[in-house]
C-alpha cells in the first residue's frame, strides 16, 4: 500500500474506512516487510526517546556545543510553578518541552529527527503536553504518531523538509504540520480534518527563513520549535472547530516548496543572512569560535 499525495491518502481512507494512521501502518508493514507488532514497537521506541529527551532537559540542563542555549526549559518550568502561564497550560508546556528537546539536540544528546534534528522539539513538545492534559495512553499517542509520519512522508516526497533546500518553513513548518494533523487524530477527527490542520500549519509559517547563528542548530532554532508547537495546537483547534483551510494540503505543500526554492541562498541555512548576520552576532561568533577551538 502506498500513496503519492494527500488526495490519494484521503481516497484510501474513504474507500477502506480506515484512518490515516492505519494507512501509514499498513504502508510501513509492506515497504519494510515487517509484521504489525514490529512496526508499532518501533514507533513506541521513538516516542520513548522523545519523552526521555524532555526529561533530560528538565532534570539536568546542559549547555549546547556553541554555548548559545541551555537551561531555557527549566527556566520556563520554574516560572510555571510560581506564575500562571500567559499562553495557557498546554501551550506553555508544549513550548517548554519543545525547547528542551532542542537543548538535548544541541548538546549532542539523543533525539528523534521528526522530521529533522533542527525541528525535533515540535512533535515531542505537543505530544507530551497533550498527553498530560488529556490522560491519553502511550498506545494512543503512538497510533497518532503514524498520522504525523504520513504527513511528513508526503512533504518529503513532494517537497522538502530541509532548511538548506527550502528554509525553516520546511523544517519547523513541516514538523508543525505533522503535529497538527496528529493532534486532530488524537481528538478522533477524520482524515480530511487532519490534512486541513496540516495545510493551515504550513501556511502559518510560510516564508520562515533558516538563519542559524554560526550555522549551529541553536539560535533562533530553539525558539522557533516553541512557535511550531504553538502553531500546531492552534491549527488543530481551528480545524477541530469545523473551520476548513481554503487551500488543499497538496497545494499547500507545493506552495511551501516553491516559496522555499525562491528564497535567496543566504536565507537557507548558510548563516549568511537574517539573524545570523545581525550586528550583535559578531561578538557572539567570537565566543562560539573560541568554544569550538577548545573542543577540538
Residues 221-251: pLDDT tens digits?
999 999 999 999 999 999 999 999 999 999 9
Q: How many CB atoms lie within 10 A of CB 244?
A: 16
Looking at residue 295, what is its pLDDT? 63
Q: Which residue has the higher pLDDT, 291 or 115?
A: 115
Assess whether pLDDT exceeds 80 at residue 294.
no
Categorize the per-residue pLDDT at 194 as very low, low, confident or very high, splitting at 50, 70 and 90.
very high
Domain ranges of the chain: 6-295
Q: Please give the pLDDT value at position 289.
A: 76
For residue 171, pLDDT over 90 is answered with: yes
Task: Give 258's Cβ-side CA count (13 Å radius).
Answer: 7
Judged against a pLDDT cut of 90, whether residue 288 lies above it is answered with no
- As a whole number, mean pLDDT of residues 159-169 equals 98
Please check the confidence at residue 183 and state whether its pLDDT lies above 80: yes
| pLDDT at site 204 | 98
CA distance 273 to 295: 26
pLDDT interval class at 284 (50, 70, 90): confident
Would you state the pLDDT for residue 287? 76
pLDDT surpassing 70 at residue 115? yes
Q: Is residue 292's pLDDT more than 80?
A: no
Q: Which residues pair with 228 in a beta bridge?
A: none
Q: Which three cell numbers stand for residue 123?
A: 512533535
Largest CA distance in the chain: 60
Work out the mean pLDDT of the chain and round it to a whole number. Answer: 96
The answer to whether the CB of 178 falls within 8 A of the CB of 149 is yes
Give the rounded percent of residues in the chain with a pLDDT score beyond 70.
98
Mean pLDDT of 136-141: 98
Of the pLDDT bands very low, low, confident and very high (cuts 50, 70, 90), residue 205 is: very high
Q: How far apart are the first and last CA of the chain?
A: 48
Judged by phi (left if over 0) then psi (alpha if -120 to 50, else beta), residue 116 lies in: beta
Is this prediction's pTM over 0.85?
Answer: yes
**In terms of residues, how long is the chain?**
296
Look at residue 211 and tell me whether its pLDDT is greater than 70. yes
**In the predicted model, what is the mean pLDDT of residues 265-273?**
96
Which positions ≥6 away from 269 have C-beta within 8 Å?
162, 163, 164, 167, 210, 211, 212, 215
Distances (CA, A) of 20 to 2, 158, 244: 12, 18, 18
Cell, residue 92: 506553555
Fold of 6-295: 2-methylcitrate dehydratase PrpD (1.10.4100)
Identify the pLDDT of residue 285: 86
pLDDT at 217: 96
pLDDT at 291: 66
Whether 267 and 207 have beta carbons less than 8 Å apart is answered as no
Amino acid at each position: 500500500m502506498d500513496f503519492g499525495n494527500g488526495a490519494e491518502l484521503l481516497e484510501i481512507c474513504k474507500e477502506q474506512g480506515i484512518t490515516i494512521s492505519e494507512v501509514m501502518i499498513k504502508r510501513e508493514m509492506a515497504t519494510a516487510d515487517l509484521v504489525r507488532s514490529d512496526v508499532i514497537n518501533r514507533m513506541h521506541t521513538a516516542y520513548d526517546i522523545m519523552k526521555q529527551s524532555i526529561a533530560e532537559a528538565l532534570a539536568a540542563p546542559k549547555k549546547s556545543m556553541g554555548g548559545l542555549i541551555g537551561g531555557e526549559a527549566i527556566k520556563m518550568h520554574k516560572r510555571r510553578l510560581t506564575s500562571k502561564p500567559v499562553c495557557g497550560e498546554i501551550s506553555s508546556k508544549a513550548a517548554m518541552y519543545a525547547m528542551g528537546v532542542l537543548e538535548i539536540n544541541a548538546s549532542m544528546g539523543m533525539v528523534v529527527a521528526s522530521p529533522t534534528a533542527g525541528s525535533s522539539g515540535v512533535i515531542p513538545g505537543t505530544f507530551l503536553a497533550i498527553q498530560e492534559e488529556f490522560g491519553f495512553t502511550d498506545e494512543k499517542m503512538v497510533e497518532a504518531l503514524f498520522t504525523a509520519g504520513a504527513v511528513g512522508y508526503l512533504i518529503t516526497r513532494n517537497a522538502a523538509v530541509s532548511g538548506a533546500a527550502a528554509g525553516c518553513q520546511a523544517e519547523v513548518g513541516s514538523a508543525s504540520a505533522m503535529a497538527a494533523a496528529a493532534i486532530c487524530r488524537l481528538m478522533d477527527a477524520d482524515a480530511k480534518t487532519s490534512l486541513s490542520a496540516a495545510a493551515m500549519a504550513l501556511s502559518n509559517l510560510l516564508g520562515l527563513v533558516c538563519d542559524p547563528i554560526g550555522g549551529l542548530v541553536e539560535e533562533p532554532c530553539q525558539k522557533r520549535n516553541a512557535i511550531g508547537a504553538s502553531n500546531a495546537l492552534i491549527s488543530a483547534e481551528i480545524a477541530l472547530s469545523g473551520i476548513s483551510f481554503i487551500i488543499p494540503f497538496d497545494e499547500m505543500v507545493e506552495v511551501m516548496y516553491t516559496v522555499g526554492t525562491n528564497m535567496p541562498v543566504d536565507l537557507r541555512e548558510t548563516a549568511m543572512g537574517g539573524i545570523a548576520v545581525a550586528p550583535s552576532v559578531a561578538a557572539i561568533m567570537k565566543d562560539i569560535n573560541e568554544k569550538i577551538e577548545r573542543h577540538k
